Structures are given as structure tokens and as C-alpha cells.
Amino acid sequence: MFIKMKRIAVYGKGGIGKSTIVSNVSAALSKEGIRVMQIGCDPKSDSTINLTGGIRIPTVLDVLRAKGDKTGLQDIVFEGSFHVICVEAGGPKPGSGCAGRGIISAFEKLEELKAYETFKPDIVLYDVLGDVVCGGFAMPIRNGYADGVCVVTSGEMMSLYAAGNIVSAVRSYGSRGYACMEGLILNKKGIEEEDEIVGRAASEMAVDILYKMERDSIVQKAEALNKTVVEAYPGSRQAESYRMLALRLYDQGSKG
């Protein structure tokens, strides 16, 4: 089904900053000479926007609606900063259709068009909305598309609640030989005793905290330039943090 490559799905509640983390991880890995494909699996379709200079690339679902069987890889796969291979699954218009349908359509089309064999990524990063873990949103977990799953969280109650649901879903599907749970990524929001709160939650979930990302206003400064921190401020402490997380995730993926 797939050529040999590392495949990691990164989940998280909407607004937790997972797309920022994933795009910076993609940029950092690419700078290390690792071939990266990033697939945005959120109906907002903005996962890769800071890799493409603020330009929203056409989504797979929109292109399929317009071109149908005439859709080619050149219509749905684009090159971003540092040669990151960018794809956005897309979703229905608000209030109509299943929000996970874009993911299902995107995965099926990429497979049909032999995207992985063509672009030969060393690692595929799926950026997946984690407010619900059903339908298309569960595809990276349950259909053999991802080897490992990471969850971005903060110390906020709803973020941890979503993380707990994702961990439970991964374990449920993992018992059937699908993706395994790699751990949590703490994206700090400046909450009092945040380390301790997330540490206790991780212990209750019986998962590791893979990395703690400090809060830094440089993230917003980079995004105002429509760039990742890795591109806009390569010498910053935050860029180095993303690099360290990226290599950690790549090493985690290597264990599969």
C-alpha cells in the first residue's frame, strides 16, 4: 500500500496550536535534509499556510468537486518553504456535509495517484483536528495510514479532555494493530502550574510527555509574516525548540 516511510498523525483540540507546531516541525526536518509531506486534515484548510507564504492552496475536496476524475497530483500537491510537500484535504461548506469527508477523499485520491511513490517522502505528518475522533478524523489511526500518534495539549481543561479522548481512541484501534500512541506535546499557554497539571494528566492517561514547548511571542511575529518561526527567525531559541521536537518526532517514528 505504501512505500517505506515514517507516518505520524498529530492531533489536538482546535486552537491549541497544532498547525503551528506541525508546520514548524516540517520546516525544521526539511532543513535537516529530510523529505517531508504535510497533510492538513482540518476543514479550515490552513495547516500549511505558513509554509506557502500565506497563500491557501487548493484543497483536495475542492479540486475533486471541480475536476473529478481529471484531478492530477499537480492539482492537489504543492511545494512549500524548504521544499516541504504540502496537501490540504479540505472540507464541506459550513453547515453542509460531513467534516471528515475531505480527509477520506484526500487519502483515497493520494493513494490512487500514487503520491507517496512519486514524491518519496521520508516522513508524512498528518495535522488532524482532535475535537472529535470519528469518521474521517479517525482515518490516520484506524486505517493504517499512520504508525504513531501525538497529541498537542495545554493545561486547559478542554484541551486535556480532548487529549484524553484521542488517547482512548488510539488505544482502542491500536489493539487491532493500527497506530500506536507516542505521547503528548505540551504547548504552553501560561497557565499557573501548567507543567504539574499536564504531568498529572499524562500520568492518568499513562502516556509520556514528548516535549514541552515554551510560550513565545515570536510565534505570532512569524505568522504575521506568513512564515514559520524556523524560516522567519532561524536563529531564535524557539526555532531551536522546534528543531529539537522535530528530531524527537522523527526518532519516535523510526521506532516503528
Distance separating alpha carbons of residues 12 and 102, to the nearest angstrom: 18
Q: Which of 160, 165, 161, 199 is nearest to 181 (CA)?
A: 165
Strands (E), the chain: 6-12, 36-41, 78-79, 85-88, 123-129, 148-153, 180-187, 209-213
Distance in angstroms (rounded) separating the CA atoms of residues 57 and 87: 8
DSSP-derived pairing of the beta strands 180-187 and 85-88: unpaired
Q: What residues have CB less than 8 Å from 8, skipping those under 6 apart?
A: 123, 124, 125, 126, 146, 147, 148, 149, 150, 182, 249, 252, 253
Which residues are tagged catalytic? 13, 18, 44, 131
